[in-house]
Structure 1
Amino acid sequence: MTASAPHQHDRLAAVSNALRASLSVPTDTFITEDIPLLLTRLSQIPPVSAKDTTSPPQIRN
């Protein structure tokens, strides 16, 4: 027996709301300061094709 689409949507919304209420979003300095820096550094690494395994990518400074 399968639930109807509206019923499934309501169940998903209820679970989502319960999770949001029970799990707080971390707001410490590790998340707010280090993640943007990490993303900036990662964006400086040039893309490497899957076939190119001769040398590791060089990081631009």
Structure 2
Amino acid sequence: METSEVLMLHATVARCPDCADECVLLPTDGFDGFCCTSCDAAVFLLEAPQPALTKRLAG
């Protein structure tokens, strides 16, 4: 796969916990993680639970 295809289809933008920069994270081979393009740290992204939507009623 071409490098530009990897960036367009599989890269993501997030904050790296090591360098604290918001940058492009590239997928890695061999495990389900990403590599920071600023500091080359291995980054694992976890999904945060979404708060339940509540409906406010005028009282």
What's the TM-score, normalizing by structure 1?
A: 0.22
**Larger helix share, 1 or 2:** 1
**Larger strand share, 1 or 2:** 2
Structure having the higher Rg = 1
What's the TM-score, normalizing by structure 2?
A: 0.23
